[in-house]
Amino acid sequence: MVVGEVAEGVDLLVVGGGPGGYSAALRAAQLGRSVMLVDRLGEAGVGGVCLQVGCIPSKAMIEVAEAKHRATSLREAGLQVEQAQVDLAQFQTWKDAKVAGLTSAVVGLLRRALVEVVAGDFRFTRPGSGVVQSLDDRPPRHVQYTDVILATGSRPLELPGLPRDGVGVLDSTDALALARLPASVAVVGGGYIGLELGTALAKLGSRVTIVEALDRLLPGVDAALLRPVRQRLKALGVNVLLEHRVQSFEDGRLTATSQGQAVELAVEQVVVAIGRMPNTDGLGLHKIGLTPGPTGLIEVGKDRLAAPHVAAIGDITAGPALAHKATAEAEVAAEALCGLPVAFDPATIPAVVFSDPEIAIAGLSPDEAKAQGMDVAVGRLPLGASGRAATMDAADGFTQVVVDRATDAVVGVQIVGPHASELIAEGVLAIEMAASPQDLVGSIHPHPTLSEMLPDAVRGLLHRPAGATVPTAAAVGAP
Ligand code: NAD
């Protein structure tokens, strides 16, 4: 601090108001700490990328796109809708109201917990001190903290040669804010965002091409889980270009290279979704002796501490960049800084792709379990065996349960199908509690529901007849 600057004392400082940051602030306040939460946008930024421009807006768009698509896809069942249309401008107003409602709910929680929310960018000036610089002309606020939790999240990676301009070249935030549907769009990147946005835009009525540099979509996700999604993309008319590396976009022409050849594509707009990078570069970490790794991540211990009195959580630490990971880490970080003996040690962090059908993963795939030396049994039930799925006209997908024979415990669950995002939670619980196949079968599931698929997937492993689902060869335990 320079002589003349007055620093205010802060007991526990949280930097970043996303799901990680606000959860940490609430837990710390509950544990009796006096908390200041700094977010670039102040109360308007509470909820972070996830609530303001990510998870929530994208699920809203996916929901509306699916409703439009479904309205015209059940003709065989007698549903007659001449033409379903989505007014995107109206959608944006509706979505913004939902986001505003959720934001004010979180702001209300913070206010009730007496967390002071301050607008501005925080950076360290030396150990124990930092400065909050607001985006407007307000003077900087110097703070001296006892403890700090960093939860600054991540931002989209830009493609050199394809800088975002918000008009022709969009990032995911721009795409989710579209008030007019482009006739054609190329989505660069076939990862989580590429698949989710590409599918939604296709259902809304755009001609969509997904351009992926690697030889497959969703790298890191078991290929078997992807098959039903590839089929649906095809049915929706989504063009998928694999092994295409995008170079530039000029005058409505996207240029990519594939096996040394230049490929051109005429599209109205391009959405770049090639991954995200952690927001650690502007924090002045060197002032407190911390050096982020080569990709910008901060190394932390199981207690989420990067240094004494400094915790880091969420997208700026190793592991999947998912809101629920950040929220879980937030509690650990807050409790650790309050002296509680805690560790972030989940049996699994579930992952969901809101594709069509949805993909949800918890724990180990069969191959991952084998690679860990386990003697693996796999129970698998195709969606076609489910009566409830039949009533939804859904047949593409399956539920798979991976069991470690030595311990008779469920170590992995993979679900592809409608509502997989909701159904996976039972798989997470089973893995956390080391449930056995018998535990699943012995827990009565309501009929007719998709939830029956989890116990019925392991009935074959127990040499039990099929449950409420229809017995099929595939249901008696795939190898
Ligand atoms: P991603 O890492 O999931 O996918 C990026 C894809 O872009 C990769 O397949 C990569 O090979 C490809 N790529 C990279 N450079 C390319 C190029 N020049 N040309 C063509 N393809 C290229 O990243 P994302 O989709 O941007 O999502 C970022 C993160 O956000 C995810 O990792 C995830 O953690 C999170 N997210 C989660 C959800 C969810 O939980 N449902 C949804 C959206 C985003």
Q: Tens place of pLDDT for every residue, the chain, 479 residues?
A: 555 678 999 999 999 999 999 999 999 999 999 999 999 999 999 999 999 999 999 999 999 999 999 999 999 999 999 899 999 999 999 999 999 999 999 999 999 999 999 999 999 999 999 999 998 888 999 999 999 999 999 999 999 989 999 999 999 999 999 999 999 999 999 999 999 999 999 999 999 999 999 999 999 899 999 999 999 999 999 999 999 999 999 999 999 999 999 999 999 999 999 999 999 999 999 999 999 999 999 999 999 999 999 999 999 999 999 999 999 999 999 999 999 999 999 999 999 999 999 999 999 999 999 999 999 999 999 999 999 999 999 999 999 999 999 999 999 999 999 999 999 999 999 999 999 999 999 999 999 999 999 999 999 999 888 777 765 544 444 43
What average pLDDT does the chain have?
A: 95
pLDDT of residue 285: 98
Pick the last residue of a domain from 337, 359, 378.
Answer: 337
Give a yes or no: residue 433 inside a domain: yes
Nearest alpha-carbon partner for 334 in 7, 9, 6, 37 = 37
Residue 363 zone, left/alpha/beta (φ > 0; ψ -120 to 50; rest): left
| Same domain? 314 vs 240 | no
pLDDT of residue 476: 42
Nearest alpha-carbon partner for 28 in 303, 339, 300 = 339
Ligand 1 pocket test: pick from 159, 276, 415 the residue with the most ligand atoms within 8 Å of its Cβ.
276
For residue 375, give Cα distances in angstroms to 365, 378, 407: 13, 10, 10
Residue with the nearest Cα to atom 36 of ligand 1? 192
How far, in Å, is the centroid of ligand 1 from the Cα of 219? 9
Q: What is the 3-state secondary structure (H, E, C) of 219-255?
A: CCCCHHHHHHHHHHHHHCCCEEECCCEEEEEECCEEE
pLDDT of residue 478: 42
C-alpha 118: how far from chain center: 26
Pick the last residue of a domain from 233, 256, 274.
Answer: 274
| Same domain? 248 vs 126 | no
Residue with the nearest Cα to atom 30 of ligand 1? 321
Ligand 1: atom nearest CA of 192 is: 25
| Same domain? 290 vs 386 | no
Give a yes or no: residue 92 inside a domain: yes
| Same domain? 125 vs 250 | no
In this structure, the number of other CB atoms found within 10 A of the CB of residue 66 comes to 18
Q: Which of 244, 309, 447, 463 is catalytic?
A: 447
| Same domain? 196 vs 84 | no
Give a yes or no: residue 28 inside a domain: yes
- Ligand 1 cavity residues, CB under 6 Å: 159, 188-194, 196, 211-214, 219, 245-246, 273-276, 320-322, 352-354
Task: Residue 431: give its domain's CATH number.
Answer: 3.30.390.30
* CB neighbour burial string for 386-419, b if at least 16 within 10 angstroms, e if fewer: bebbeebebebbbbbbbbbeeeebbbbbbbbbbb
pLDDT of residue 473: 41
Ligand 1: atom nearest CA of 315 is: 34
How far, in Å, is the centroid of ligand 1 from the Cα of 358? 16
| Same domain? 72 vs 198 | no
In this structure, the number of other CB atoms found within 10 A of the CB of residue 241 comes to 18
| Same domain? 296 vs 367 | no
Find out whether 151 and 122 touch, Cβ atoms under 8 Å: no
Put simply, whether the predicted model's pTM sits higher than 0.85 gets the answer yes
Ligand 1: atom nearest CA of 211 is: 20
Domain of residue 412 covers 351-474
Give a yes or no: residue 162 inside a domain: no
How far, in Å, is the centroid of ligand 1 from the Cα of 61? 18
- Residue 419 known to be catalytic: no
- Write the single-letter amino acid at 14: V
pLDDT of residue 314: 98
Ligand 1: atom nearest CA of 218 is: 9
| Same domain? 240 vs 373 | no
Pick the last residue of a domain from 337, 365, 384.
Answer: 337
Give a yes or no: residue 150 inside a domain: yes
Q: How many domains does the chain have?
A: 3
Give a yes or no: residue 424 inside a domain: yes
pLDDT of residue 159: 93
| Same domain? 356 vs 469 | yes
| Same domain? 60 vs 134 | yes
How far, in Å, is the centroid of ligand 1 from the Cα of 459? 36
pLDDT of residue 479: 36
How far apart are the C-alpha atoms of 48 and 205, rounded to whole Å?
A: 29
| Same domain? 98 vs 182 | no
Give a yes or no: residue 256 inside a domain: yes
Task: Residue 106: give its domain's CATH number.
Answer: 3.50.50.60
Give a yes or no: residue 329 inside a domain: yes
**Packing angle, helices 88-112 and 55-71, rounded to 10:** 140
Strand order across the 245-250 sheet = 245-250, 253-258, 261-266
Helix (H, G, I), strand (E, B) or coil at 141: strand
End-to-end alpha carbon distance in the chain = 65
| Same domain? 282 vs 255 | no
How far, in Å, is the centroid of ligand 1 from the Cα of 47? 21
Find out whether 410 and 430 touch, Cβ atoms under 8 Å: yes
323: Cβ contacts below 8 Å, ≥ 6 apart: 18, 19, 20, 50, 54, 55
